[in-house]
Structure 1
Amino acid sequence: MRHYRTVTSALDLFSVPTRDWFAETFGTPTPAQEQAWAAIASEAHTLVVAPTGSGKTLAAFLWAIDRLAGRAHDAAADRAGTRILYVSPLKALAVDIERNLRRPLAGIADAAARAGTPRPGITVGVRSGDTPQSRRRALVRTPPDILITTPESLYLMLTSSARGTLTGVETVIVDEIHSVAGTKRGAHLALSLERLDLLTPRPCRRIGLSATARPHEEVARFLGGGAPVTTIAPAADKRWDLTVRVPVDDMTDLAAPASSPTGAGESTSGPGEGTSGPGEGTSGPGEGTSIWPHIEQLVAALVDHHRSTIVFCNSRRLTERLTARLNELDAERRGVEVDRQAPPPALLGSTSDAAFAADGHGAQFARAHHGSVSKERRAAIEADLKAGTLRCVVATSSLELGIDMGAVDLVVHVESPPSVAGGLQRIGRAGHHVGDVSRGVLVPKHRADLLHCAVTADGMLAGAIESLSVVSNPLDVLAQQTIAAAAAAGTLDVAEWFAAVRRSAPFTTLSRSVFDATLDMLAGRYPSDEFAELRPRVVWDRDSGTLTARPGAARLAVTSGGTIPDRGAFAVHTLGEGATRVGELDEEMVYESRVGDVFALGTSSWRIAEITHDRVLVTPAAGRAGRLPFWHGDGPGRPAEFGAAIGAFTRAVAPSAATGAPGD
Structure 2
Amino acid sequence: MTRRAPRSSNRAADDPLAGLSHPATRDWFRATFPQGPTPPQRLTWPVVAQHRHALVLAPTGTGKTLSAFLGVLDRLANHARPPEPVADGLRCVYVSPLRSLGYDVERNLQAPLEGLARRLGYDRPDQFLRVATRTSDTTAHQRRKLRDRPPHLLVTTPESLALMLSQADWRDHFAAVETIIVDEIHALAPTKRGVDLMLSLERLADLATTDPTRIGLSATCRPAQRIARYLVGPTRGCVVLDAWNPVRDDPQTDSNLAPDPQTPVAAAAQTELNNAIVQANSSIRLPDRTPELRVVNLLRADEGFHRGLSYRRLLARLEQEIRANRSTVIFANTRAFAERLTHDLRARFHSNVPTPYIGNAGDLIGNRLCDHQVASRVQLNARLKIEHSRLVRAVSAPPQGHPGDLVADKVTELVAVHHSALDATRRREVEHRLKTGQLRAVVTSTSLELGVDLGTADLTVLVGPPDSVQRCLQRVGRAGHSIEATPRGLIVTVGPAELLSALVTARAAREGRIEPIAVPRVPLDVVCQHLVGMACAGEWEVERAYELIRRADPTSTLSREDFLDCLSYLAGESSAPASAFEPEPGANPRWSGPRIWKAHGSFGAKSGRILRWFRMNVGTIHAEETIRVLVDGVELGTLEAVYAERLSRGDRFVLDGRALEVVRGEEGGILLARATGGEPNLPRWTSDRLSLSRQLAKEVFATRVQVRDLLRGSPDDLAQWLRAEFQHDEPDAVETLRALIEAQERCSVVPESDSVLIEDGPLEDWSGELTNSGSGRLWVFHAPLGRAACETLGRAVAARWGRRLRRDLGLTAADLGWALRVPAALPPDEDPPEPDWNELLDPEGLEQAVLTGLDRGELVAQRFRHAAAVGLMILKRHESQTRNTRGGGSVRVGGTRWAATKLYPVVKAAAPRHPLIREAQREALEEVLDLPTARAWLEQRPRVMRRTLQHQPLSPFAAAWIEPGGGLNPPGETLRFESPASALKRLHERLTRPRVQT
TM-score of the alignment, normalized to the shorter chain, above 0.5: yes
- Number of paired residues? 610
Letter of the 1:149 counterpart: T
1:641 aligns with 2:690: no
- Give 1:521 shift: 2.1
Task: Name the residue aligned to 1:160.
Answer: 167
1:550 aligns with 2:606: yes
1:466-545 equivalence runs, <5 A: 466-489=515-538, 491-526=539-574, 535-541=593-599, 543=600, 545=601
Task: Name the residue aligned to 1:231.
Answer: 240
Shift of the 641–388 alpha-carbon distance from structure 1 to 2, 3 Å rule, reads same
CA contact (8 A) 2:535 2:604 kept: yes
Is 522-531 or 215-224 further displaced after alignment? 522-531
For residues 405-431 of structure 1, give each alpha carbon's deviation from its aligned partner in whole angstroms, at most 9, with x where no partner exists. 112111111111221101101110111
2:655 to 598, 601, 609: 601
- Give 1:436 shift: 1.2
1:320 to 336, 339, 342: 339
- Give 1:188 shift: 1.1
- Partner secondary structure for residue 35 of structure 1: helix
1:294 aligns with 2:302: no
1:395 aligns with 2:444: yes
- Give 1:74 shift: 6.1
1:333 to 329, 349, 352: 352
- Give 1:485 shift: 0.3
Task: Name the residue aligned to 2:879.
Answer: none
1:565 aligns with 2:628: no
Shift of the 501–581 alpha-carbon distance from structure 1 to 2, 3 Å rule, reads same
Is 405-414 or 579-588 further displaced after alignment? 579-588
1:179-198 equivalence runs, <5 A: 179-198=187-206
Letter of the 2:616 counterpart: T
Shift of the 642–532 alpha-carbon distance from structure 1 to 2, 3 Å rule, reads same
- Partner secondary structure for residue 318 of structure 1: helix
Task: Name the residue aligned to 2:922.
Answer: none
CA contact (8 A) 1:216 1:231 kept: yes
Task: Name the residue aligned to 1:344.
Answer: none
For residues 344-402 of structure 1, give each alpha carbon's deviation from its aligned partner in whole angstroms, at most 9, with x where no partner exists. xxxxx974875972545535221001111111111111111111111111112111111
Distance 2:85 2:406 in 1: 60
2:405 to 357, 381, 394: 357
1:368 to 417, 425, 431: 417
Distance 1:660 1:318 in 2: 41
Is 401-410 or 78-87 further displaced after alignment? 78-87
1:586-597 equivalence runs, <5 A: 586-597=640-651
Task: Name the residue aligned to 2:935.
Answer: none
Task: Name the residue aligned to 1:610.
Answer: 664
Letter of the 2:603 counterpart: L
Shift of the 77–92 alpha-carbon distance from structure 1 to 2, 3 Å rule, reads closer
Shift of the 352–313 alpha-carbon distance from structure 1 to 2, 3 Å rule, reads farther
CA contact (8 A) 1:350 1:626 kept: no
For residues 142-177 of structure 1, give each alpha carbon's deviation from its aligned partner in whole angstroms, at most 9, with x where no partner exists. 322221111111111111355244332221110010
Query: Bigger relative contact order, structure 1 or 2, given CA contacts below 8 A and separation 6+?
Result: 1
CA contact (8 A) 1:240 1:437 kept: yes
Shift of the 108–606 alpha-carbon distance from structure 1 to 2, 3 Å rule, reads farther
- Give 1:624 shift: 8.1
Task: Name the residue aligned to 1:285.
Answer: none
- Give 1:99 shift: 2.0
Distance 2:673 2:442 in 1: 24
Is 452-461 or 440-449 further displaced after alignment? 440-449
1:3-402 equivalence runs, <5 A: 8-14=14-20, 15-26=22-33, 27-73=35-81, 79-113=87-121, 121-161=128-168, 163-164=170-171, 165-225=173-233, 226-236=235-245, 237-248=288-299, 250-253=300-303, 273-274=305-306, 276=307, 281=308, 290-336=309-355, 351=396, 357=405, 359=407, 362-363=410-411, 364-402=413-451
CA contact (8 A) 1:324 1:350 kept: no
Is 207-216 or 6-15 further displaced after alignment? 6-15
CA contact (8 A) 2:536 2:605 kept: yes
- Partner secondary structure for residue 230 of structure 2: helix
CA contact (8 A) 2:350 2:408 kept: no
Shift of the 418–106 alpha-carbon distance from structure 1 to 2, 3 Å rule, reads farther
Who wins on radius of gyration, i.e. which is larger?
2
CA contact (8 A) 1:418 1:636 kept: yes
Shift of the 38–618 alpha-carbon distance from structure 1 to 2, 3 Å rule, reads same
Distance 2:398 2:710 in 1: 51
Distance 2:440 2:494 in 1: 23
- Give 1:28 shift: 1.5
Distance 2:179 2:662 in 1: 47
- Give 1:76 shift: 7.3
Is 159-168 or 470-479 further displaced after alignment? 159-168
Distance 2:684 2:496 in 1: 25
For residues 236-267 of structure 1, give each alpha carbon's deviation from its aligned partner in whole angstroms, at most 9, with x where no partner exists. 2323111112234x15416xxxxxxxxxxxxx
Distance 2:422 2:125 in 1: 43
Is 96-105 or 632-641 further displaced after alignment? 632-641
CA contact (8 A) 2:395 2:408 kept: no
For residues 32-60 of structure 1, give each alpha carbon's deviation from its aligned partner in whole angstroms, at most 9, with x where no partner exists. 11111111111111100111122111101
For residues 93-144 of structure 1, give each alpha carbon's deviation from its aligned partner in whole angstroms, at most 9, with x where no partner exists. 1122222222222233344459x99985322212222333333233223322
Distance 2:476 2:676 in 1: 33
Percent of paired sites with the same residue: 35
Distance 2:654 2:561 in 1: 53
Computed over aligned residues only, the root mean square deviation of the Cα atoms, in angstroms, reads: 2.9
CA contact (8 A) 2:86 2:128 kept: no
For residues 183-225 of structure 1, give each alpha carbon's deviation from its aligned partner in whole angstroms, at most 9, with x where no partner exists. 2221111111111112211221110000111101110011001
2:486 to 412, 437, 445: 437
- Partner secondary structure for residue 253 of structure 1: coil
Shift of the 76–201 alpha-carbon distance from structure 1 to 2, 3 Å rule, reads farther
Shift of the 326–574 alpha-carbon distance from structure 1 to 2, 3 Å rule, reads closer
For residues 493-530 of structure 1, give each alpha carbon's deviation from its aligned partner in whole angstroms, at most 9, with x where no partner exists. 22221111111001111222322222222222228868
CA contact (8 A) 1:356 1:362 kept: no
